[in-house]
Amino acid sequence: MPTRSRPSPTAGERIDLDLAEAALVERYARLVRLTYLVLPTSLTRHRRVLTAHGIVQRALPGTGTRLLRPAPRRVPAPRGAHERPGYAWVREQVLREALRHARRPSWWPHRLPPPRALRPGLPTVIGLRLFPHAGGTEEVALDQALGQTDGATRAAFVLATLDELPPEGVDDVLVRLGVDDPAGVRERAAGLAEAARGAAEALVRSDEFDPSSLRTQPTDLLRRRHRVRLGLITGTALVVTGGVLGVVGSGATPLTGPPPVPHGSGALDPDRVVVRSRTSWDDTARVDFTAWPARGSRTKDTDLLAKALNAWARAGGALGEDGRASRAAGTAFTRAPGTPAGAPTGSPRLLYAGDVEGDAVVLLHDGDRVARYTEPASRGGAAFEVGRTDDADVTTAAALVLHRSKAGARWLTAPWVDESATRDLLRPDTPARALGVSKDGVTSPLPEPPAGGGCGTWPVVQFRSSARIVEKHSFLLTDLGALSPAHLTYTPPPGAGAPARQPREATGSRALVTWARLACRLGALRGEGVRAVNTWDYAAQRLPEGGGEAVWACTRADTWAGRGDVFLSLRTPAARPAAPVEVVARADGTAACSRFGQHVVAGARWKSPQGHWYALGAGSRQVTALTTSGAVSGTHPGTTFAVRAPEDGAVRVRARLGNGETLDEVGR
């Protein structure tokens, strides 16, 4: 196909429709993946999937034999492996349509595409919800980071990573799409790729971002059933007398009592639950909940299993779209934030079925979620709780909270846990005490951390894994009110000239001393579906006027749903090992202090032992200078500063990184 070395601004490339059609068919999966990545993450994953397929399927015009492609504003860059003329043209069409979804009126519903995008119909899917396979923490963090950028930046990112275009090629496509400042957009996209530590290409090709390889889940079956029933009743009311209406009303099944699931009903058949042997856990490549055997004295009690499965089948209708807890037909339903409540699409795995303190308890796992069904022996009704556990590992799949009572919480431990002990996080110098565990892996009652008010103790469990899985290390878990305990880790401060350090287990003396000051802050995370909490000591500084050494830390709580919340604290010398720290900044739903947000800065006010007030600030290891404005103005080289400041008056801190970029304080 002939090309011009220097086309005029009004020139264009003629592309055969047959070439574009062939490129669309040949590269359909790639085009859908690219579109899915560019679409705003505010759409549900189901709608993103359908919208991505719909955009690609509508990329070609209905008639015509040749397509005019606008000429680039610069010398065309060499095409890569996927840069056939037809493919490049189709790609621009789908990108242009995907970017339109980011432009919506302020009054338009947040989870719907803009009005213009609603005109062509989406692929029709009735009765099912579609979503890509779950990814790991890296994929979830990348999706969260993409959601915090604009559509043009997402487009530049996928052009560079998925299609491997050179910088000039990315700029050329952005110009064609009418993007202002393409170089600046490309630089922001490069920041996303850099945060992925060279793994961006692998991440965007993962199953998490593949809308052509999908999992299915039914929609709210109970709600659909009720709507059909309501429609039939309404139709009958239009053709029969009021007396007949009275008969229908008196004999109908109550809408608040979803029907039970009979035995033998496919995936919810108690005879088909998956049961692993007790000896298979050390002969698998996946050390997570899929390796757990079925334990307990009632694993063959089909009536009990049927009740648990029936509760799971009814959970979707009982909880609705957004509710975390509700009650229906005598059963209390609860789910962790971000957890789908619908029934499993396949036969779940049985983890436990037995009696605990007189109550019947069943634990089930469907690959992405763990569900617990509890039937009290003498009090109240049954309870069903479900929470996400996708991408669990040797630590986050080491235990589940099996039962709660006034005596405390009993945990069910993983088969690879060799040693169990308990310790008080507020007393770092007190040795851990052995914890009793039954032959089925059920612990003795554990005191639960305080839910509010005073915080005189914070119990945690210390496990040591078996040498049979080639891990053999100790780690800490704490109960934050969910089915799965949260994993506690610690990242030490950066060393001089050393590479960035990674989180490690919080069992060392330095980690325990650090967590003693932070433990009581964990109470604010109860019920939030937290998977792991890491504290990163990102900077240390010598305080003026003999104030001793202060340590700046960022504590990040990652949830199973992918959300991350942080708070930054300043630890100054204290008389007590468990003296609380001062929280100086907060941010919710952020990538800060993760592998996708490795740069951080914060400021605080501090009173010296002599009674003088100072403005303090600290940045992470890549910070080269700090600038203050407001009550105190100036520029301070290095990662920390301390300057005299008035007692009142705001001081704002900004950081400059080694690459010339600037960074605002966390939470601003």
pLDDT digit string, tens, across residues 407-419: 999 999 999 999 9
Residue 324 is encoded by which pair of tokens?
């975390």
Q: What is the DSSP letter of 443?
A: B
Ranges 79-88, 264-273, 638-647: which has the least confidence: 79-88
Query: Is residue 234 situated within a structural domain?
Result: no
Query: Is residue 6 situated within a structural domain?
Result: no
* Domain boundary, last residue among 347, 373, 392: 392
Q: pLDDT tens digit string along 449-461? A: 987 767 999 999 9
Q: Are residues 615 and 485 in the same domain?
A: yes
Q: How far apart are CA 348 and CA 382, in angstroms?
A: 20
Return the pLDDT at 122: 60
pLDDT tops 90 at residue 279: no
User: Which residues pair with residue 333 across a beta bridge?
Assistant: 326, 384
Q: pLDDT tens digit string along 503-532? A: 999 999 999 999 999 999 999 999 999 999
214 or 236: whose pLDDT is higher? Answer: 214
pTM for this model (two decimals) = 0.65
Q: Are residues 440 and 384 in the same domain?
A: no
Residue type, 284: T
Query: Is residue 153 situated within a structural domain?
Result: yes
Query: Is residue 34 situated within a structural domain?
Result: yes
For residues 33-48, give the mean pLDDT.
Answer: 86
Return the pLDDT at 147: 80
Q: pLDDT tens digit string along 211-235? A: 887 767 665 444 444 444 555 544 4
244 or 455: whose pLDDT is higher? Answer: 455
396 confidence band (pLDDT: 50, 70, 90)? very high
Return the pLDDT at 588: 94
Q: Are residues 85 and 160 in the same domain?
A: yes
Return the pLDDT at 59: 84
127 confidence band (pLDDT: 50, 70, 90)? low
Query: Is residue 612 situated within a structural domain?
Result: yes
CA distances from 425 to 131, 429, 432, 514, 574 (A): 40, 9, 10, 10, 17
Return the pLDDT at 143: 78
Ranges 175-184, 271-280, 649-658: which has the least confidence: 271-280
For residues 296-305, give the mean pLDDT.
Answer: 94
Average pLDDT over the chain reads 81
Roughly what angle, to the nearest 10 degrees, separates helices 182-195 and 137-147? 160
Q: Are residues 298 and 438 in the same domain?
A: no
Q: 488-520 burial, b if ≥16 CB within 10 A, otherwise e?
A: bbbbbbbeeeeeebebebbbeeebbebbbbbbb
Q: Are residues 274 and 195 in the same domain?
A: no
Q: Are residues 323 and 450 in the same domain?
A: no
Backbone CA torsion sign across 415, 417, 419, 422: negative
Return the pLDDT at 463: 97
- Total domains in the chain come to 3
Most confident of 112-116, 218-222, 438-442: 438-442
What burial class does residue 430 get, using C-beta atoms within 10 Å of its C-beta: 0-12 exposed, 13-18 middle, 19+ buried? exposed
Residue 509 is encoded by which pair of tokens?
């003396």
Return the pLDDT at 542: 96
Query: Is residue 325 situated within a structural domain?
Result: yes
Q: Which domain holds residue 506?
A: 424-664
For residues 466-487, give the mean pLDDT.
Answer: 91
Q: pLDDT tens digit string along 334-359? A: 999 989 888 888 889 999 999 999 99
Q: Are residues 375 and 432 in the same domain?
A: no
pLDDT tops 90 at residue 482: yes
Q: Are residues 551 and 434 in the same domain?
A: yes
Query: Is residue 2 situated within a structural domain?
Result: no
Alpha helices in 58-150 (DSSP H): 85-100, 137-147
Q: Are residues 47 and 97 in the same domain?
A: yes
For residues 284-290, give the mean pLDDT.
Answer: 85
Residue 645 is encoded by which pair of tokens?
């400041």
Q: Are residues 583 and 467 in the same domain?
A: yes
Q: pLDDT tens digit string along 136-153? A: 666 777 877 888 888 899
Return the pLDDT at 120: 44
User: Which residues pair with residue 536 across a beta bridge?
Assistant: 491, 554
In the chain, pLDDT over 90 holds for what percent of residues? 50
Return the pLDDT at 505: 96
DSSP 3-state assignment of 616?
strand
Q: Are residues 480 and 620 in the same domain?
A: yes
Return the pLDDT at 237: 45
* Domain boundary, last residue among 343, 372, 392: 392
Residue with tokens 């995907």: 98
In the chain, pLDDT over 70 holds for what percent of residues? 77
For residues 267-288, give the mean pLDDT.
Answer: 80
Q: Are residues 386 and 429 in the same domain?
A: no
Query: Is residue 37 situated within a structural domain?
Result: yes
For residues 284-289, give the mean pLDDT.
Answer: 84
pLDDT tops 70 at residue 112: no
Contacts of 146 (CB under 8 A, 6+ apart): 37, 41, 154, 157, 192
pLDDT tops 70 at residue 629: yes
